[in-house]
Amino acid sequence: MRAETQTSYLIAGLGNPGAQYRQTRHNAGFMVLDRLAARLGVKFSRLESKALVTKADYQGSRLVLVKPHTFMNLSGQPVGSLSRYYKVPLEQLLVVYDEVDLPLGTLRIRPGGGSAGHKGITSIIERLGSQDFPRLRLGVSRPPGRMEAADYVLQEFAASEKELLNVALEAAVDAILVFVSEGLEAAMNKFNGAA
């Protein structure tokens, strides 16, 4: 009976599947989800709806953790179908992804909005038919010089950035857990701009 009364949250981290992308800027969402799974003592071991999925309980809520394996531009397919399958309301869906318009280490939590050109978010908005879902953006900083953002986000983080990245990933996990336990407003107040 308890499972039926639990509130479900779906936490989706965006990235690209494959070892060659594992440490790239565009995979910041996957990195956060891996840290979150480790913190909650679970592992990604199941493939559902073209995504790696695991589940955990946290303070009376059921968390469904999702890493789409469709490549970034098609992230909406698994996020849309899994949020419907698990009957997760939009306000309890949190999407975690990289943001070139924020300095490395900066977190920004918002209740909704447009995609700002992020193709993974564009795909999710199209699939859900709404842009009213919370998201957590992790700053990966702007590309140097005239480099295209699309090329830059497929590069790995520099060795000099690893320490700040590590702090930001841990802060992002903390922010997700506050979102689940205390709500979106509390997470925004505590973590926007943090790291």
Please compute Rg for the chain using Cα positions.
15
Q: Which of 25, 26, 67, 127 is catalytic?
A: 26
Residues 4, 7: Cα–Cα separation, whole Å: 8
Q: Rounded to 5 degrees, what are φ and ψ at 153?
A: -70, -15
CATH number for position 159: 3.40.50.1470
Asked if 9 and 61 touch (Cβ cutoff 8 Å), the reply is yes
Asked if 13 and 29 touch (Cβ cutoff 8 Å), the reply is yes
Question: In a structure prediction context, what are the per-residue pLDDT tens digits for the chain, which is 195 residues long?
Answer: 344 456 799 999 999 999 999 999 999 999 999 999 999 999 999 999 999 999 999 999 999 999 999 999 999 999 999 999 999 999 999 999 999 999 998 999 999 999 998 999 999 999 999 999 999 999 999 888 888 888 888 899 999 999 999 999 999 999 999 999 999 999 999 999 655
Residue numbers of the domain that contains 109: 2-191
Number of domains composing the chain: 1
| 118 catalytic residue (yes or no) | no
Helix axes 119-128, 76-85, angle to 10 degrees: 40
